[in-house]
Amino acid sequence: MDEIEKVLRQHRVRPTAIRLLMYKFLQERKVAVTLNDIESGFDKSDRTTLYRTIKTFEKNGLVHQIDDGTGVAKYALDEPQTARAGNTQNLHLHFHCTSCNETVCLTDHTIPHISLPEGFVTQDVNLVLKGTCDKCSRK
Amino acid sequence: MDEIEKVLRQHRVRPTAIRLLMYKFLQERKVAVTLNDIESGFDKSDRTTLYRTIKTFEKNGLVHQIDDGTGVAKYALDEPQTARAGNTQNLHLHFHCTSCNETVCLTDHTIPHISLPEGFVTQDVNLVLKGTCDKCSRK
DNA sequence: GCAAATAATGCACTTAAGTTGCATTTTTTT
DNA sequence: AAAAAAATGCAACTTAAGTGCATTATTTGC
Ligand SMILES: [Mn+2]
Ligand SMILES: [Mn+2]
Ligand SMILES: [Zn+2]
Ligand SMILES: [Zn+2]
């Protein structure tokens, strides 16, 4: 049995043809992708299916959505170990390059703790750095 | 001459009727507002005008746009002192309450410095904490 | 293995925010 | 006051996201 198939099953996602293809597609890309990026990567299949597929992935903890401020949602695979470990890796920061428009997960860089005024309870954090990425700043 | 009128002129924004009204509207609200919020606050005037007005404010340093992850842009007045001082206040974090859907500027809470891998150059930071605000957590 | 039940897919259509073009009105400049 | 520049209002367009429903594929119970 395929390795990807196993991962999907572990997350209770039935491994259909499109789902396997999309997972592979996400693995190949090192950066976060939009639904349009995914659509461009598949000659076949319909937008809606791809949309629902990525949402299924998200709901079942296979990918996370990234809001980098560009206005369009991006998605990236969760770290494989995340599910097993205490998902510390899950909360990481993202870097959005305003030059090439790519957004990457910086899973090594955890988000510093931030103290808030009395009464505020934090459940989630979104931290996005914007600027020029390594590739673009070298040019 | 009106005090608001002075502020607008200082930022090279001609003080028209709608602009004065919108600035006052933003002052009264303590939270960040969407374009729809603004629209609801004005019986008169057109969406487009309000849109272009807030964008004029933004371009001229009167307001800043906040992307809190809800998918719709919000806006809040810049701190008055920001323009004169070295705009340290400008870079602050935001708190988005998932219960009442309000987003507030936490101008006292500056964003901690974050070191990045070689080659990455940061120009801007977006830090949004999500959770329950003081009002909602007391209920 | 087969029928019924359940889930996934594809197409059409809808929604909502953001944005632009252009004619009209208002304000500023000369 | 006339000319120029800027602001406003209306209509239309763009794009991403999301829903309804019929069709197709897969899974489950027998
Ligand atoms: Mn990520
Ligand atoms: Mn703010
Ligand atoms: Zn780049
Ligand atoms: Zn609240």
Return the domain boundaries, chain B: 2-137
Measured from Cα to the C1' atom, the residue closest to D16 is A72
Instruction: Name which of B67, B98, B125 is nearest A129 (Cβ-Cβ).
Output: B125
| Average per-residue pLDDT for chain A | 90
Per-residue pLDDT, averaged over A48-58, amounts to 97
Taking only the tens place, the pLDDT of each residue in A120-131 is 999 999 999 999
Report whether pLDDT(A85) > 70.
no
Chain C positions within 7 A of any protein Cβ atom are: 7-12, 16-21, 27-28
Which residues on B lie below 8 Å from A65 (Cβ)? none
Q: Assess B113–A contact: CB distance below 8 Å, yes or no.
A: no
Nearest protein residue, CA measured to C1' of C11: A46
- CATH number assigned to the domain with residue range A2-137, chosen from the 4 options 1.20.140.10, 3.40.50.300, 1.10.10.10, 3.40.630.30: 1.10.10.10
Stretch A28-40: mean pLDDT, rounded? Answer: 95
Handedness of CA A7, A11, A15, A19 (dihedral sign): negative
Nearest Cα residue to B90 out of B101, B78, B74: B78
Nearest to A29 by CA among A2, A54, A56: A54
- Tens digits of per-residue pLDDT, B61-74? 999 999 999 999 99
- For the record, the structure tokens of A103 come out as 């957004």
